[in-house]
Structure formats: structure tokens, C-alpha cells
């Protein structure tokens, strides 16, 4: 394990890790990855080794493995990596890395950073460093794939409460923003996990989630500075439909495909 400066995201996800898979149980990764795979093929992707940056508990890695591709996962959170090890087994290479200082891990046919990871970067400087590190791991002609949250998401999911209720735990996501959330601003949500103890009392664990909205212009500028060009920026609906043109007021996520300039 390398020594890392503790990031706010690392603290958030070490605390969130035991609950993450339950909170995201409704995310249909297989369907989402089928959509993304078709998108990549449209951009000339030749399937091969995948670097899954911010792999979390391995939910975004598993569908690539299921396609017979070699996957290397990395993440800043030990708690999330422990979940990935349990899900993916002993043979998958997992590394503890801050995406702002990835270094050269290898040469990959795809570098992917999926489902709400890039938005945990603090500012455009962090984004530039992360993109430069991802670029350094691309094989010639290989794509870089990632998503970012839109203004619509910060004005809805980050402005309301979402509750996931089970017998032994209740998870409460509380978005602290509102409909006036501004482009490029930083957003806060808290995640309270109420856990039933052996004596039937309830214990609360809280993690704070701070995200930055990156407008499309910032993505393009940071990509350029990192030696990348934007091949496509599509709009994703909550139900997984992908539209050609991104509308920050309509789509929940932007899906970006980049390649070396
Ligand atoms: C919402 S989770 C997504 C995980 C996984 N990709 C998935 O689809 O389930 C976001 C992940 O980003 C990771 N992360 C946030 N900031 C990071 C950073 N600077 N470097 C590496 N990982 C980071 C977190 O630890 C967390 O595992």
C-alpha cells in the first residue's frame, strides 16, 4: 500500500463503503455497460485490458471481467477496495491510488472512471491532473470514458432526501442544495446509515459527500490541457437511455469519450 494524503472523498467512502452496495443495489450495471460498450464501439474501440479508475467496490469492473477482459482497478478508499476484492476475487489487480496522481500503471485499451467518481475532485486543477494521469495509461488510439453529474442532478438528487430501508439498516441520503444550484459550484450531501445493534438500539454513522459540478466547457478545457480531445459528450437519462446531445437541465449525467489529441 502506498502512502497517500487523505482526501475528503477517501474519508467519505471509507465510511460509506459498508453500505455502498445496498445504496446502489438498484443501479443496473449490466444494462449501463451494454450501452457504454456500444458507444465505445461506435468510436472505434478495440476491446482489451481495462483500467477502472475509482473502481469502488468493483461494480463497474465486474461487467468488463464478465466479457473476458483483463481489469485493473484502483481507488483511493481502502474500504471500497476491500469490497472490490470480495466481489472480484484474488486474481484481479487492485491498487490504492488517488486519481490525481495515478502514475503509469500500464497500457490499457480502455481507461474508464464511472458512476459518480470524477465529481468528487475538488476543482479544475484536480480534474486536469486526473485526466493527465488517465491519458498516460492509454494505449495508442484507446478511449477514455467517464461520466459527470449535470446541473439537473445537483438541483434534484442533491436537493432532496433519498431513503433506502431494510430490516437491519436505514440509509438516508440528504442533499443539501436547492433548485438555485449554480454551474461550477460545489454541492454537499450527507449519508446517514442507521444500523440496528444486537440490543435492538440504533447507531448512526454519517459520511459527507462534497462534489464539484464541472460544466462542459471546463471538461473540454481540462481535457485539452491534459493532451486529450473530446470525441463525444452525450446525455444520460436516469433510466439508462443515452441521447446524442447533452442537456444539463434534462439529463442526470454527461457521458464523455476522450482520446489522445
Ligand atoms: C460513487 S463511487 C463509484 C465506484 C464505482 N466506479 C462504481 O461504479 O460503483 C465513487 C468512487 O470514487 C472514488 N474516488 C473519489 N475520489 C477519488 C480520487 N481522488 N482518487 C481515486 N478514487 C476516488 C471513491 O473512493 C469511490 O469508490
- CB-count exposure of residue 78 (10 Å: 0-12, 13-18, 19+): middle
Q: Is the CB of 126 under 6 A from ligand 1?
A: no
Assess if CATH 3.40.50.150 describes domain 8-149+214-260: yes
Strand order of the β-sheet with 202-212 is 161-165, 169-175, 186-196, 202-212
pLDDT digits (tens, 9 = 90+) for 124-150: 999 999 999 999 999 999 999 999 999
Mean pLDDT of the chain: 95
pLDDT digits (tens, 9 = 90+) for 33-47: 999 999 999 999 999
CA of 124 to the centre of ligand 1 (A): 17
- If residue 222 lies in a helix (H) or strand (E), which one and from where to where? helix 216-225
Ligand 1 atom closest to residue 114's alpha carbon, by position in its atom list: 6
| pTM of the full structure | 0.96
Could you tell me if 145 and 256 are in contact, meaning their C-beta atoms sit under 8 angstroms apart? yes
Q: Is the CB of 94 under 6 A from ligand 1?
A: no
For the 153-211 domain, the top CATH level (class) is mainly beta
- Domain spans in the chain, listed from the N-terminal domain onward: 8-149+214-260, 153-211
Q: Is the CB of 17 under 6 A from ligand 1?
A: no
Could you tell me if 155 and 181 are in contact, meaning their C-beta atoms sit under 8 angstroms apart? yes
CA of 55 to the centre of ligand 1 (A): 6
Supply the pLDDT for residue 2. 44
CA of 260 to the centre of ligand 1 (A): 23
Q: Is the CB of 112 under 6 A from ligand 1?
A: no
Q: Which three cell numbers stand for residue 27?
A: 443501479
Distances (CA, A) of 115 to 119, 157, 252: 9, 14, 11
CA of 194 to the centre of ligand 1 (A): 23
231's CB contacts (< 8 A; 6+ apart) are: 43, 143, 257, 258, 259
CA of 30 to the centre of ligand 1 (A): 19
CA of 235 to the centre of ligand 1 (A): 21
Q: Is the pLDDT of residue 4 over 80?
A: no
Q: Is the CB of 87 under 6 A from ligand 1?
A: no
Measured between alpha carbons, how far is 254 from 247 in angstroms, rounded to an integer? Answer: 8
18's CB contacts (< 8 A; 6+ apart) are: 79, 193
Amino acid at each position: 500500500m502506498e502512502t497517500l494524503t487523505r482526501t475528503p472523498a477517501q474519508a467519505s467512502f471509507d465510511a460509506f463503503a459498508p453500505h455502498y452496495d445496498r445504496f446502489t443495489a438498484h443501479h443496473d450495471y449490466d444494462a449501463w455497460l451494454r450501452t457504454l460498450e456500444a458507444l465505445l464501439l461506435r468510436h472505434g474501440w478495440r476491446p482489451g485490458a481495462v483500467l477502472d479508475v475509482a473502481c469502488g467496490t468493483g461494480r463497474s469492473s465486474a461487467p468488463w471481467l464478465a466479457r473476458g477482459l483483463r481489469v485493473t482497478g484502483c481507488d483511493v478508499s481502502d474500504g471500497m477496495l476491500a469490497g472490490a476484492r470480495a466481489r472480484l476475487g484474488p486474481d484481479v489487480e487492485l491498487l490504492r491510488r488517488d486519481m490525481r496522481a495515478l502514475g503509469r500503471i500500464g497500457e490499457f485499451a480502455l481507461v474508464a472512471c464511472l458512476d459518480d467518481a470524477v465529481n468528487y475532485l475538488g476543482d479544475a486543477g484536480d480534474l486536469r491532473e486526473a485526466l493527465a494521469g488517465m491519458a498516460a495509461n492509454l494505449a495508442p488510439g484507446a478511449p477514455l470514458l467517464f461520466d459527470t453529474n449535470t446541473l439537473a442532478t445537483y438541483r434534484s438528487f442533491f436537493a432532496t432526501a433519498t431513503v433506502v430501508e431494510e430490516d437491519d439498516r436505514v440509509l438516508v441520503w440528504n442533499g443539501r442544495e436547492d433548485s438555485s444550484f449554480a454551474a461550477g459550484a460545489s454541492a454537499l450531501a450527507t449519508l446517514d446509515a442507521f444500523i440496528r445493534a444486537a440490543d435492538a438500539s440504533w447507531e448512526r454513522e454519517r459520511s459527507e459527500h462534497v462534489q464539484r459540478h464541472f460544466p462542459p466547457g471546463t471538461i473540454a478545457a481540462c481535457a485539452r490541457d491534459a493532451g486529450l480531445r473530446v470525441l463525444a459528450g452525450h446525455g444520460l437519462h436516469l433510466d439508462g437511455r443515452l441521447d446524442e446531445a447533452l442537456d444539463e437541465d434534462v439529463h442526470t449525467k454527461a457521458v464523455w469519450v476522450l482520446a489522445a489529441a
